[in-house]
Amino acid sequence: MSGVGTLELSGIHAGYGDFQALFGVDLRVEPGEAVGVVGPNGAGKTTLLRVISGLIRASAGTLRFGGADLAAVPAHELPVLGIAHVPENRRLFPQLTVEENLKVGAYIKSARARFQERRDHVFELFPRLKQRRHQLAGTMSGGEQQMCAIGRALMSGPRILLLDEPSAGLAPLVVQQVFDLVRRIRQEGLTVLIVEQNVAQVLRVVDRAYVLETGRVAAEGASAALAADPAIRRSYLGGALSAWIPSCWRPC
């Protein structure tokens, strides 16, 4: 039986015009889980998140969240169901301040009523945002903008957070900070689905992962099992996890 907040994709096909990006993708995320989708550029990872958040429609297959048929829900109403999407490249409003961007994230009625409470929680998670609350978002560093984008998504009070390449374009130290924040968010019980090319980092913070190649699921399993798989390590990890795997068989 599916959980109240279970995300289920079955046989999803999708693309752009005549170009097909996904071929029969099956994916499942249970409430409270952190699940990763990894793979090379062009594998269809971003397309997958866009299908879930209604930015593009699947041409075949079924997509359900908490039992609701997402194909029947307009994209702008998905936050009401509890789905929040942090898109690739952040997509902030650069001429709005940090606090104004957070207000945009709280546009649904239920979130407006709790704006101050959730804003304060975002500022607790991201103290730097509180310091820059009146700064234009477009003038901040890439890492600060990523914090703002995640904070904006949290303002709606989501049941599941979709993260698209949160480490893209960031310096290594900032990447580590972003993943530390993802770990803290999921420890609070929020369900997370994260698309990421940085396989070594994402396998440290998720319970399970799917490997997507040319629009198809090539492998799936527990994060430690995928990290130890010789084919996965050869294709995506090299020696990056050689020191980590023996001592940490679950997400740290």
Does a structural domain hold residue 238?
yes
**pLDDT of 230:** 87
Q: Based on the structure, what is the number of domains in the chain?
A: 1
Q: Look at residues 248, 246, 247, 219 and name the one whose alpha carbon lies nearest to residue 234.
A: 219
Q: 118: closest CA among 144, 79, 89? A: 79
DSSP collapsed to 3 states, 128-142? HHHHCCCCEHHHCCH
Quick one: pLDDT at residue 234?
Answer: 80
- Whether 175 is in a domain gets the answer yes
Q: Which residues contact 175 (CB under 8 A, 6 or more apart)?
A: 167, 198, 201
| pLDDT digit string, tens, across residues 16-72 | 988 999 999 999 999 999 999 998 888 999 999 999 999 999 999 999 999 899 988
In a domain, residue 59? The reply is yes
Residue % of the chain over a pLDDT of 90: 61
Highest mean pLDDT out of 8-17, 39-48, 140-149: 8-17
Q: What digits encode the pLDDT tens for the residues 127-136?
A: 999 999 999 9
More confident call, 136 vs 89: 136
Residue 57, in any domain of the structure: yes
Residue 11 Ramachandran class (φ > 0 left, ψ -120 to 50 alpha, else beta)? left
207: in domain? yes
Domain residues for the domain of 35 are 7-82+158-247
- The whole-chain average pLDDT of the chain stands at 87
> Per-residue pLDDT tens for 229-250?
888 888 776 544 333 333 343 3
CATH code at position 20:
3.40.50.300
Q: Which residue has the tokens 């979130």?
A: 111
**Residue 180 belongs to some domain of the structure:** yes
d(CA 185, CA 147): 12
